Every structure is written in structure tokens, then in C-alpha cells.
Amino acid sequence: QVQLVESGGGLVQTGGSLRLSCVLSGGTLSTQDMAWFRQAPGKGREFVSVVSRFGGRTAYSDSAKGRFTISRDNAKNTVILQMNSLKPEDTAVYYCAAGTIVNWLRVRLEGDYGYWGQGTQVTVSS
């Protein structure tokens, strides 16, 4: 059974950087499109970024564009979210998700992602 484990969260000051990792076990990463979502306190879960199976295509939310970079290493079954220029509004639990994207116009929706990690907390202090 596919399992996803995130790591790399923590407390950082405004303008700082964090590197989140997601390791997939029980399956093969190259068979999955991989995404990051986040959920801030009192809010719903929202899309952050996605990368296609072999890294050839990516997408970002407007808030992540220009500051975050998603990448993957299929040999290591790992997906990375590099987050720079962090802001207090980036504070959230960040979730890794895996699935098969049928329509790239719908990547922001949770429905195409069948596997989810437990999340890692990111806190950005002002």
C-alpha cells in the first residue's frame, strides 16, 4: 500500500526558507503525479503545487508562483518543495499527495489524488 511521509517543516522567520520532502513507500513514484496542498488554521485545504510523473510539467498556485519550486527524484521516491521568501500567510500544515491527473485544468482539486500524507507543520513568524 502506498504511503507518503512528509518532513522538513518547522518554524522560520519571514523571508526565510524551508525545504519540504515527501517520501513514497509501498509503490513506485514514477507512476504518480505528485502534489503539495496546505491547510491553514480555520481554513480549507488548498492546492500549492504539482509535478507530473517524470517532472516535465509543473503548476503552482498564484501564492506559490515565483517563491516555491517543486521537484522530484524518482530514483529516491522523493518529492521536494523548496519554499523561499516565506510569509506569515504561508503558515499551514503542508500535505503531500499522489495520484493520476486526468485533466491538468483540474489539478487544484483534491479528487485526482488518491494518496495523502499526514502533513508537516510550517510556521512563519512575523
Say if residues 58 and 49 touch (Cβ distance below 8 Å): yes
Percent of the chain with pLDDT over 90: 93
Q: Tell me, what's the pLDDT at 61?
A: 97
Say if residues 80 and 23 touch (Cβ distance below 8 Å): no
Say if residues 114 and 32 touch (Cβ distance below 8 Å): no
Distance CA 15, CA 84 (A): 7
Question: Which residue, among 21, 39, 29, has the nearest Cα to 89 in the 3D structure?
Answer: 39
Q: Tell me, what's the pLDDT at 69?
A: 98
CA angle 52, 91, 84 (to 5 degrees): 60
Q: What are the tens digits of pLDDT across the range 46-58?
A: 999 999 999 899 9
Distance CA 19, CA 121 (A): 12
Q: What are the tens digits of pLDDT across the range 67-95?
A: 999 999 999 999 999 999 999 999 999 99
